[in-house]
């Protein structure tokens, strides 16, 4: 069981580093939006590519931040009920939910979105807007990457829950 805890801690550390990267992306996005507004209203200069890059950064924040949010137990959960459960029921839910809902759903989304990204890559998809960004597959690749991170965090939660349940016996 000690190996599960060590592995879980390593997975947590990895997701935490990604979460910190996501927080820096928020800072970068705020600077970009402020700069865009200043340039647009004071100098009458605007860039479609920069505006698209802002959306791409926002997508990265959402996809990278979701696993970190899950790790910090700030994700959507029916706390109204969960809060009142006994520790044993909470432990079993911490095993069953990742095992039967989060992990399979993540694998399914990774599988589907990988084809979506590859299709975009093979078609050489670019922004439909003049002056927009090329390589549309890069932003689309955030979908499978984000769900890989959720999958990793679900494994960390699962391993910790298993070690707690087995460790009590």
Give the residue extent of every domain in the chain: 2-168
Q: Which of 94, 90, 111, 107 is nearest to 150 (CA)?
A: 107
pLDDT, position 168: 61
Q: Determine the straight-line distance between the first and last CA of the chain, rounded to whole angstroms.
A: 12
pLDDT, position 75: 72
Q: In Å, how far from its chain's centre is CA 8?
A: 18
Mean pLDDT of 16-22: 95
% of the chain surpassing 70 pLDDT: 96
Residue-wise pLDDT for 24-77, tens only, equals 999 999 999 999 999 999 999 999 999 999 999 999 999 999 999 999 887 766
pLDDT, position 26: 97
Mean pLDDT of 132-160: 97
Q: Is the pLDDT of residue 161 over 90?
A: yes
- 37 CB-side CA count, 13 A: 5
10-24, 64-78, 104-118: segment of lowest average pLDDT: 64-78
Mean pLDDT of 151-160: 96
Confidence band of 80 (pLDDT split at 50, 70, 90): low
When the pLDDT of each residue in the chain is averaged and rounded to a whole number, the result is 93
Q: How far apart are CA 150 and CA 153, in angstroms?
A: 5
Q: Which of 113, 118, 138, 114 is nearest to 127 (CA)?
A: 138
């Amino acid at each position: 069981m000690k190996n599960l805890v060590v592995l879980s801690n390593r997975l947590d550390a990895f997701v935490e580093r990604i979460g910190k990267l996501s927080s820096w992306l928020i800072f970068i996005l705020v600077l970009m939006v402020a700069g865009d507004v200043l340039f647009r209203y004071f100098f009458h200069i605007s860039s479609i590519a920069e505006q698209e890059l802002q959306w791409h950064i926002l997508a990265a924040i959402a996809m990278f931040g979701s696993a970190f949010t899950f790790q910090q137990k700030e994700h959507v959960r029916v706390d109204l009920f969960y809060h009142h459960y006994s520790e044993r029921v909470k432990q079993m839910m911490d095993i069953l939910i990742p095992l039967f809902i989060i992990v399979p759903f993540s694998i399914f989304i990774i599988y589907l979105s990988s084809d979506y990204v590859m299709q975009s890559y093979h078609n050489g998809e670019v922004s439909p807007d003049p002056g927009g960004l090329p390589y549309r597959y890069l932003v689309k690749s955030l979908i499978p990457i984000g769900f890989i991170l959720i999958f990793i965090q679900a494994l960390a939660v699962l391993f910790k829950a298993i070690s707690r349940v087995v460790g009590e016996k």
